[in-house]
Amino acid sequence: MADITNRYEQNVPGKYFVDNQCIDCDLCRETAPNNFTRFDDAGFSYVYKQPSSPEEEAACKEAKEGCPVEAIGDNGP
């Protein structure tokens, strides 16, 4: 389960976030490309845009549920 205290600072504020368990597998970026992107310098994903439509919310939820290391949280600030 993602830990809010270990969230990457690159995440924009809001419900969804990625923490330091991310293994850069690309699943979230493929599932919700409008919301997740890669921080190339360190090799991890983060939330660059919080969902703003029901479709984006569903995609973020699917990304969270599919994350193999549970690095995506949905209880952010």
The CATH number covering residue 29 comes to 3.30.70.20
Domain tally, the chain: 1
- Interval 52-59 mean pLDDT: 98
Could you tell me the residue range of the domain that residue 28 belongs to? 4-73
CB-based contact 23:69 (threshold 8 Å): yes
- Answer yes or no: is pLDDT of 76 > 90: no
Q: Which residues are within 8 A (CB) of 73 and not within 5 positions of it... i.e. 6 or more apart? A: 1, 2, 3, 4, 7, 16, 17, 18, 19, 64
> Which amino acid is it at 53?
S
List pLDDT tens digits, range 7-54: 999 999 999 999 999 999 999 999 999 999 999 999 999 999 999 999
User: What is the structure's pLDDT at 67?
Assistant: 98
